[in-house]
Amino acid sequence: MYLHLGENTVVKTGDIVGIFDMDTSTISKWTKEYLASATRKNRVINVSMELPKSYIVCNENGEIKVYISQISSQTLMKRRNNL
């Protein structure tokens, strides 16, 4: 199955490692460092130019990608659980 992350972006649900709320999880120093590292390695994909509400970590064929989405983590989790 696939999960729609916003705009024209979908990912396989089996590739999803985690769905995280941007406001609560980016308080941590470790999370900020992780996202900065992923950005430097060109692994971050911004799905929309709107205000980001969540980020989704995926393992696609052994390569980690981080999707930034304007859709809340709660909505994405509901969508994933309804598949």
Question: What pLDDT does residue 35 have?
Answer: 95
pTM: 0.92
Question: What pLDDT does residue 82 have?
Answer: 84
Question: What pLDDT does residue 74 have?
Answer: 96
Question: What pLDDT does residue 26 have?
Answer: 83
Question: What pLDDT does residue 32 have?
Answer: 93
Name the stretches of the chain with pLDDT < 50: none
28 to 1, 19, 33: CA distances (angstroms): 32, 16, 9
For the chain, give the DSSP string.
-EEEEETTEEEEGGGEEEEEEHHHHTTSHHHHHHHHHHHHTT-EEE--SS---EEEEEEETTEEEEEEESS-HHHHHHHHHT-
